[in-house]
Structure 1
């Protein structure tokens, strides 16, 4: 279980995240919602330790993540993979190499620098791409792909890390509706198929209700809502989004997706099956 205790991040006089406390169950798909500047990205970056908390603790299965340094911190970042809005791929490199970069923590530095990837690593990377219908693009340069394709490559790269948690920071913010669905389906598949815990920052309540088991609403760095999508009232939406509430509040019945419970399995075995 991932536990956050009174987590705070301060920039000068402003608190981007202000005393957040949460417990996240293994295998859940959690949407973090709120307007821009609410603290969503800062929260996820602290969980991955890309930003250090000003106060509070992050615990995972009893380990104090906020105290990790050096190799232990690098190992945590492999277990807690990050997916960014900007994809963070190396455009001049081919898709396969971009995905294999997710194995950097698993191989000696000299092998990765010389691109001496093992056959097992290559098979794992190709299987991850094929899971998201991207196997045929393995030899393409990453900058030749559409935004939705690049984001699916980024998810494949995260998967080959064999993470226990995926943190997705506004992964569909710059995508059209079709690619938005493809990327969200890819995250939902990673969650269901491998039992990976997913925390996903989203602006759209429609998407959040359709895909997430649980919603956490942030406003001015504080948790103001924690529950399921159908518990989110218009009053809470106005607290979260202010004048934007009318644009993001889904007034119809949200799309429901079957979420069969599957026991978590080892990623490498599943990808190579």
Structure 2
């Protein structure tokens, strides 16, 4: 169980996340929605502790995450994998090595630095790639791939961390409709097959409704909606997005049926 209690983050005079309290159960796939600047990215970065809260607490199965430091914090980040909008791959390294980076929390630092990966670790990484139809691209440089392919590599890297939670921060923001579907299908498959909790920031309400069991809506850093997709009415969408509501509803009409 992931619990957020009064979570707040200020940057000077600006409050990016304002007293958010949530409880997210194991195995949920939760869409975090809201307009740009609503605090979605800051919320996920606080959960992973890439950004420290100004106030409030984060707990995982009763453990106080906000108090973690040093090795314990690194272990938490291993349990709580991030998928970023801009992929965060090393372009000049091959795809398989980029995925193996996800094993850093499972091997001694010296072995990772020297890239002395075991056959078992290589097999784990290749298996993750093959789950997303990327196995044949394992020897290619990551920088030579399309955006959608790079994002699936990033998801495979997150999977080999063996995380309890995956936090995906606008993972399809720069992708075309076909690659958007491939990436969202990959996240949904991880959620269903392994029971990994997934929190995904999305701009499109159609995508959120299609893929997520639960939606959490932020406006100006405040939690204003928490419920199933069918409860997200047009009135709620207008509250979340204002004049952008018509734009974000129906933003991905070209997605094929699953």
By the TM > 0.5 criterion, same fold?
yes
**Which SS does the other structure have where 1:175 is aligned?**
coil
Partner SS, residue 77 of structure 1: helix
Residues 211 and 257, structure 1, Cα contact 8 Å, conserved in 2: no
Structure-1 separation of matches of 2:107 and 2:140: 24
Deviations 1:48-84 (A, max 9, x none): 0000000000000010000000000000000000000
Q: CA deviation at 1:250?
A: 4.6
- When the two chains are superposed, the root-mean-square deviation of aligned CA atoms in Å is 1.6
1:80 aligns with 2:80: yes
2:220 is aligned to: 220
**Bigger Cα displacement from structure 2, 203-212 vs 239-248:** 239-248
Counterpart residue number, 2:13:
13
> 1:268 is matched with which residue?
none
**TM-superposed deviation, 1:91:** 0.1
The correspondence of residues 34-183 of structure 1 with structure 2, limited to 5 A, is: 34-183=34-183
Question: Residues of 1 paired with 2:250 and 2:112: CA distance?
Answer: 46
Could you say what secondary structure the match of 1:89 adopts?
coil
Q: Does the 8 Å contact 1:4/1:22 carry over to 2? A: yes
Q: Provide the rounded CA distance (Å) in 1 between the counterparts of 2:189 and 2:148.
A: 16
Superposed structure 1 runs of 4+ greater than 3 Å apart: 255-258
State the alpha-carbon separation in 2 of the partners of residues 32 and 256 from structure 1.
Answer: 23
Moved more, 40-49 or 221-230: 221-230
Aligned length: 256
Could you tell me which residue of structure 2 aligns to residue 195 of structure 1? 195
- Could you tell me whether the CA contact under 8 Å between 1:102 and 1:161 is conserved in 2? yes
User: Contact (CA 8 Å) 1:210, 1:256: kept in 2 or not?
Assistant: no
Aligned equivalents of 1:216, 1:256: Cα separation in 2: 25
* 1:211 pairs with 2:211: yes
How far the C-alpha of 1:140 sits from its partner, in A, is 0.1
Give the Cα–Cα distance (whole angstroms) in 2 for the partners of residues 238 and 152 of structure 1.
32
1:257 positional shift: 8.5
Q: Is contact 1:103–1:161 with CA below 8 Å preserved after alignment?
A: yes
TM-score (norm 1): 0.91
Taking the aligned partners of 1:92 and 1:148, their CA distance within structure 2 comes to 17
**Residue 186 of structure 1: SS of its match in structure 2?**
helix
Equivalent residues of 1:7, 1:20 under 8 A apart: yes
Aligned to 2:186: 186
Query: TM-score, normalised to structure 2's length?
Result: 0.97
Q: Where do 5+ consecutive residues of structure 2 fail to align?
A: none
Query: Post-superposition shift, 1:249?
Result: 2.5
